[in-house]
Amino acid sequence: MSINWFPGHMVKARREIEENIKLVDIVVMLLDARAPISCRNPELEKMVARKKVFLVLNKMDLADRNALRKHIASLRAEGFAVAAMDSISGKGKREVLQGISESYQSFADAMLQKGRRVRPARVMVVGVPNIGKSTFLNSLVGRKMAATGAKPGVTRGKQWLRVREDIEFMDTPGLMWPKVGSEEQGYKLALLDIVGDKAYSEYDVALYLVNWFIINQPAILADKFKLNDENMPAEQVMESIARHRGYLLKGGVPDMDKTCKLLLQDFRKGKLGPVSLD
């Protein structure tokens, strides 16, 4: 599945980031902890390459812990400062703020050497659509400051948020790159709700998800949906789930549309357990 999803507001988002990058000291780039490799935006990384970049693996509560540790170690080996966080509960918040302070220390030292007063760190938060930037900022601030929504691209405009006396954040719209060439990566981005639902077939993505569980964690689906045979082909598994939930059309035909929506929703809310797609 090749995804080509670059609506008009993406052009505006890219321009906004390019115009404002000069105003900040540090860039915090959010990645989904379930697939931190697949949701790295190569164009975005080029745009912020001259800045100090601090990676935050968001939604850590939904990720497999062992895989998360490996991803953090791998990214640190690349030279990135990295932390993980669950923006809903606030877990990891202290580590994120500490990491930003450490990244800013060289700027603060340079100001002191010049006899200048140390100003707050100016931090830009970036990432692909629906990665959880607004929820992340709200969690750090401790109250609802940034607009949030379930649809990719909901954040609009520029706003500075003071988290502490020494850190100011700039929120930005989510930015997708023009074309995802890898079929595997396309499925993962669709599962994570990073691309708009018009860019893919829900049936194909749900089928990919079921196949992933059959290969990697077959017992999860068998237990949740009371499957008699966890080794069934993915199509049969989806039909069994439809029957188990009573999602039937006239004549007892499984309602696959409703079943696909259920599977994608359950996965995105973490109801199928912690996973690592990468």
179 within a domain of the structure (yes/no): no
Q: Are 234 and 210 in contact (CB under 8 A)?
A: yes
CA dist 140 and 87 (Å) reads 8
CATH code (residue 239): 1.10.1580.10
- Cα Rg for the chain, rounded, in angstroms? 21
184 within a domain of the structure (yes/no): no
28/124 same-domain check: yes
Tokens for 47, please give them: 């745009």
Band of pLDDT at residue 88, cut at 50, 70 and 90 = very high
Task: Give me the pLDDT at residue 154, please.
Answer: 39
Task: Give me the pLDDT at residue 147, please.
Answer: 45
Query: pLDDT digits over 8-57, tens only?
Result: 556 777 788 888 888 899 999 999 999 999 999 888 888 888 999 999 99
Query: pLDDT digits over 213-227, tens only?
Result: 999 988 888 888 888
166/228 same-domain check: no
Task: Give me the pLDDT at residue 84, please.
Answer: 97
Instruction: Tell me the percentage of the chain whose pLDDT exceeds 90.
Output: 55
CATH code (residue 120): 3.40.50.300
Last residue of some domain: 120, 154, 171? Answer: 171
217/91 same-domain check: no
Task: Give me the pLDDT at residue 185, please.
Answer: 87
pLDDT at 146 over 50: no
pLDDT at 244 over 60: yes
Residues of the domain holding 251? 201-268
Mean pLDDT of 83-92: 95
pLDDT at 179 over 70: no
Mean pLDDT of 176-189: 76
163/207 same-domain check: no
Dihedral over alpha carbons 26, 32, 37, 38 (to 10 degrees): -120
- Mean pLDDT estimate for the chain: 85
110/239 same-domain check: no
Q: Are 2 and 181 in contact (CB under 8 A)?
A: yes
